[in-house]
Chains A and B, each alone.
Chain A
């Protein structure tokens, strides 16, 4: 994944997203193969590489008997690059960034799910990072929180931080990501920029007309395939040779009244379902 990208990592439950993240960060060893993180071979370079990576893995985890602030201080003290002289200021800044200053002194035990999630994010933001790995960052958050996280991710990305965002919320990925990958059954099915991924699916033309039968004949005559009439709407596959402008002109010239005309790219959701299947069952 390119530096500076916001990379959406998609896949149904049980597809191997979290396992990939765990392996990436050296928590588990792969049964075969090797991997690199920020250009260095892992896990050998872990002590040098991981301080530059902020992570939120499978939800937050902190000591219930410590306050939010003390939890962050303990984590900061546990590894390299956590200068003691700047610790209090960095903690305050991180807490402020996730909107948790008011609850900083309260015990973690008393935090709500959304507050815990925010504290987890604050931990990932304690130091300047080159890469942020966020596993379901908006889990359990209220709509305002979700929105703030989206803005935060955009802000971090514009500062040059690469963000790896694992999620099953497609709208979230669609709104903030520049790149995406789809996994299922432990395999990577597709990856690329969001535009590339969308282009992979077929676009369809939707026209609302007063004379659907005549419109269908005209569209078929233009060479469009898969023409379907449904009520007052006619849809057809756009293969790129005949553009929507041309279709519109032909319809109007033939005397068909056009109420609406939309060339629809497949949504990420369509693509996701096309790649991973319709089933509701958890894989394996």
Chain B
């Protein structure tokens, strides 16, 4: 069933378009830097000023640009659609009488969301690496600690950064799946989840609400940059992943409690 579900996910036009757009964002970024000369050192989003020296940085710059808004937005769309989408089509009642099993169905849907977040983050990184290699010189990466890394190591760490970004979106994805079990309208679930994401951004931007910041799902979203330190500085990444595990546990349990007991009328 998982295989069939994954095939369905990647066959959907919506998902394909999202992945292509995510792939193109760092490409666009690299093209802009190539033809405008790029920001001076220390200006613009993190890593963007380095792109003209070394194309590998286009992947990290792309991740930095996407993680704050667009990437979580697409996760809200895919996670919000999981149960509410089936419910609004009416296919949920046929899956449940098949019987797919409510817990099993929720688990399979969660697995597809994980697959999506990872593919989405990797699409950005791969787009960045491809555009960076095509438009700029690439070579050994000078990490944030000043130690040079070999080109292969640099690319591997960019992909690792993408995996970390994908994982740090799982908290929001769990929230989205929970919302999706609450209502029958996929668009409604997407909008509510996206609203929660924006609310998170706003709260993160208000210093007076600093007490809440460490508990927000987006607090450590930029921690992935630490993969460029030698040795990799795991502290913030670890805190990020722990936070995501917490969100997944809480909202996953809520989604389970809701979905296994609800009346399916649609």
Contact = CB atoms under 8 A, between A and B. Distances in A.
Contacts of A64: 89
Nearest to A25: B97
A153 B230 CA distance: 72
Contacts of A110: none
Interface in B227-266: 261, 263-265
A222 interface: no
A63 B99 contact: no
Contact of B101 (A47, A57, A77): A47
A26 B92 CA distance: 12
B209 interface: no
Contacts of A53: 97
B91 A27 contact: no
A25 B99 CA distance: 9
A77 B1 CA distance: 5
Contacts, number: 77
A149 interface: no
B86 to A, nearest CB: 9
Interface in A185-226: none
Given A65-B13, A78-B1, A78-B4, A27 B96 contact: yes
Given A61-B90, A78-B1, A22 B264 contact: yes
Given A25-B97, A79-B99, A123-B94, A74 B12 contact: no
A45 to B, nearest CB: 10
A51 interface: yes
Interface in A130-171: none
A75 B95 contact: yes
A63 B97 contact: no
B89 to A, nearest CB: 6
Contacts of B264: 22, 27-28
B261 to A, nearest CB: 8
Nearest to B3: A77
A184 interface: no
Interface in B92-108: 93-101, 105
A74 B89 contact: no
B8 interface: yes
B167 to A, nearest CB: 28
Interface in A58-113: 58-59, 61-66, 73-75, 77-80
Contact of B98 (A50, A62, A73): A50
B90 A58 contact: yes
Indicate the member of B8, B93, B94, B265 with the most A CB atoms within 10 Å. B94
Contacts of A66: 8, 11
A50 B93 contact: no
Indicate the member of B1, B3, B13 with the most A CB atoms within 10 Å. B1
A59 B266 CA distance: 11
Given A61-B94, A75-B95, A22 B1 contact: no
Contacts of A59: 90
A28 B98 contact: no
Contacts of A26: 96-97, 99
Contact of A27 (B8, B12, B97): B97
Given A27-B263, A28-B265, A78-B4, A63 B89 contact: yes
Contact of B263 (A28, A46, A50, A61): A28
A89 B97 CA distance: 22
A109 B94 CA distance: 18
A57 B89 contact: no
A38 interface: no
Contacts of A55: 94, 97
A275 interface: no
Contacts of B8: 63, 66, 74
Nearest to B89: A61
B44 to A, nearest CB: 40
A29 interface: yes
Contacts of B101: 46-47, 79
Given A27-B263, A29-B263, A79 B98 contact: yes
11 contacts: A27-B263, A28-B263, A28-B264, A29-B263, A46-B101, A57-B94, A61-B93, A65-B13, A66-B8, A79-B98, A80-B99
Given A47-B101, A62-B89, A63-B91, 15 more contacts: A22-B265, A26-B96, A27-B93, A28-B263, A29-B261, A46-B101, A51-B99, A55-B94, A57-B94, A61-B91, A75-B94, A75-B98, A78-B95, A79-B98, A80-B99
